[in-house]
Structure 1
Amino acid sequence: MGARSTRIRRDEVLTPPEFRGREASGNPAARVGGARLELLPCDGGARWGFCYQQIPLRLMPPFCLKNEPGALQYLVNLTAGLMDGDAHLVELTVRPGVRAVVTGQSATRVHPALDSYATQQWNVRIEGDAMLVALPGPVIPYQKCRYYQRGRVDLARDARLIWGDVWLPGRYERGALSERFAFERMVQDFEVRREGRLIFRDRFCWDGPWTDDEARWHFGAGWAAATLLIAGPAPAIEHSSEPNCLRSVFPLESGDTCVRWCGEPAAVTDDLVRWALGSAGFWTGGPGAPPWLLDSGGLTPNHWFSPLRASPV
């Protein structure tokens, strides 16, 4: 973690081996931004402690909605997405007793790369008796883009985390101009530790563009994939063989749970969000409790995570 109000610099952003030699130090248009944020407990779930914001990333103060156990913390990118050479660094400290959902306001659009790559990187520390749901937002890779997403989470012994990633195929509803699976390279590197012990690691490097056969090898008949980590008790989640939304559940050695999907983009996104926020409701209310946020009358149903149907939890 950097100093609270120190400007986020290019040298704080890590470059993976797959993009070595493509650093954006010579690109005058590339933007380095991000946030350093401390969340403190309050009756509505969370409030700010220290907060530093750097363009193009901006934060809205947490929304504490009536009868909701968790607050909603938005991260807002003021540009059209991640351009070539852009880097966003988010450093988040979650204090004991916090209940919060941290999410991007919209999908992450990764634009074509000319010389470098775009990256979003997270460093998160969750302290005892805190509950965090982190949904960075679906990733939409544009044609010829290069993208590196990195996350590192440190959990106290009784801290709880739900983290969900959704990977979409690109701008696919464009007829002959479809950019489905037309990216150049996508790298994901995500690790979670509890009291210093590694409990989950998810890393891949996808080299594109993909042919139809290569896309089927990765995603089956679907156009999207997703992963959900539930670090803490999980409700009863079953496998699903629905053609538009295949779901597999993997109990981890640590006692935590990983869930993976492939299928139709809207169905996969909806199912991940419902299980993520439904699992948070299970934490605070037990079996049968409503999910966080999804049934709230204080949240208009026009967010990327708004439900298509009722929650199963």
Structure 2
Amino acid sequence: MLNEVAENQNLQEYSALELKLRCNSWGKTVITHQYQTHPMRISRPFRLDRDNHNRAYIYLRNNSPGLFAQDNLNISLSLGKNSQFYLTEQSATKVHPMTKGSTAKVNYNWNIAQQGIVEFVPEPLILYQDSALQQTTKIEIHPTASLFWSDIILPGRLARGECYQFRYYDHYLEVCSDLGELWFKERMYLKGQDNQFCHNELFASFPVLGNAIIIIP
């Protein structure tokens, strides 16, 4: 019985979302494969551009209140030739307090084929007091494809005066060609409670952090 309980807990902690999108014969980007486990969900595709019916707009949803200790979210995307995809989130991602030594994990693994276009514009990431998050992003992209990737980080619930009380935020980003050639990588390790610069005039005046990456052919 104990083994069954532990097994069920591991299944709940590990969550996966797998998407494959392709451009169909009518010139519209459609979902050809979708696999998701709780709490990951996506909306149906929307066509918000009157002059461009190819691009699919999709909302990513997390049906839980946020990220907790030992959560492990894995988001896999494969975008086919000539496809266009815009992904955003329905609400901000809240990383909740955790015991010391615990962390939450989010992993992105994306592949963008020839002349594909991906725009990822998520809602802010809010790092609550005592929280810790490890994020890994690996993107393979064809030289003729395009990518816009952004994120916004709030170092706490600022309206409550909670600022830089989280433990750490660790993000590793790697972008390479579809043949495996490394184009660039970035490592962002942001300390919270032990941050020596959080009371610096520059950081105190502008606590919200942002990052944007653009790749064009």
Q: TM-score, normalised by structure 1?
A: 0.61
Q: Taking structure 1 as reference, are residues 27 and 137 closer, same or farther at Cα in structure 2, changes over 3 Å only? A: farther
Residue 66 of structure 2 corresponds to 81
2:92 matches 1:101: no
Residue 135 of structure 2 corresponds to 149
- The partner residue of 1:54 within 37, 53, 72 is 37
Q: Are the aligned partners of 2:198 and 2:204 in contact in 1 as well (CA < 8 Å)?
A: no
Distance (whole Å) between structure 1 residues aligned to residue 129 and residue 27 of structure 2 = 42
2:171 matches 1:188: yes
Q: Are the aligned partners of 1:44 and 1:65 in contact in 2 as well (CA < 8 Å)?
A: no
Residue 258 of structure 1 corresponds to none
Deviation at 1:66, TM superposition (A): 4.9
Deviation at 1:71, TM superposition (A): 1.8
User: Alignment RMSD, CA only?
Assistant: 2.4
Residue 310 of structure 1 corresponds to none
Residue 153 of structure 2 corresponds to 167
Deviation at 1:221, TM superposition (A): 2.8
2:87 matches 1:116: no
Deviation at 1:213, TM superposition (A): 4.1
Distance (whole Å) between structure 1 residues aligned to residue 28 and residue 123 of structure 2 = 21
Counterpart of 1:59, as a letter, is: I
Q: Are the aligned partners of 1:47 and 1:61 in contact in 2 as well (CA < 8 Å)?
A: no
Of 78-87 and 199-208, more deviation after overlay is shown by 199-208
Q: Note the residue ranges of structure 2 that are not aligned, 5 or more in a row.
A: 1-5
Q: Are the aligned partners of 1:190 and 1:202 in contact in 2 as well (CA < 8 Å)?
A: yes
Residue 92 of structure 1 corresponds to 77
Q: Are the aligned partners of 1:216 and 1:222 in contact in 2 as well (CA < 8 Å)?
A: no
Aligned with 2:158: secondary structure?
coil
2:16 matches 1:31: no
Residue 242 of structure 1 corresponds to none
Q: Taking structure 1 as reference, are residues 141 and 161 closer, same or farther at Cα in structure 2, changes over 3 Å only? A: same
Q: TM-score, normalised by structure 2?
A: 0.85
Q: Taking structure 1 as reference, are residues 44 and 118 closer, same or farther at Cα in structure 2, changes over 3 Å only? A: farther
Distance (whole Å) between structure 2 residues aligned to residue 118 and residue 185 of structure 1 = 11
Deviation at 1:128, TM superposition (A): 0.1
2:113 matches 1:131: no
Counterpart of 2:152, as a letter, is: V
Q: Note the residue ranges of structure 1 that are not aligned, 5 or more in a row.
A: 1-24, 234-313
Q: Are the aligned partners of 2:135 and 2:170 in contact in 1 as well (CA < 8 Å)?
A: yes
**1:41-88: CA deviation from partner (whole Å, max 9, x where unpaired):** 245752101110110001112112251532211110001111111111
Residue 230 of structure 1 corresponds to 214
Alignment of 1:11-30 (within 5 A): 28=9
**1:208-250: CA deviation from partner (whole Å, max 9, x where unpaired):** 21568435377463011111111006xxxxxxxxxxxxxxxxx
Q: Taking structure 1 as reference, are residues 68 and 148 closer, same or farther at Cα in structure 2, changes over 3 Å only? A: farther
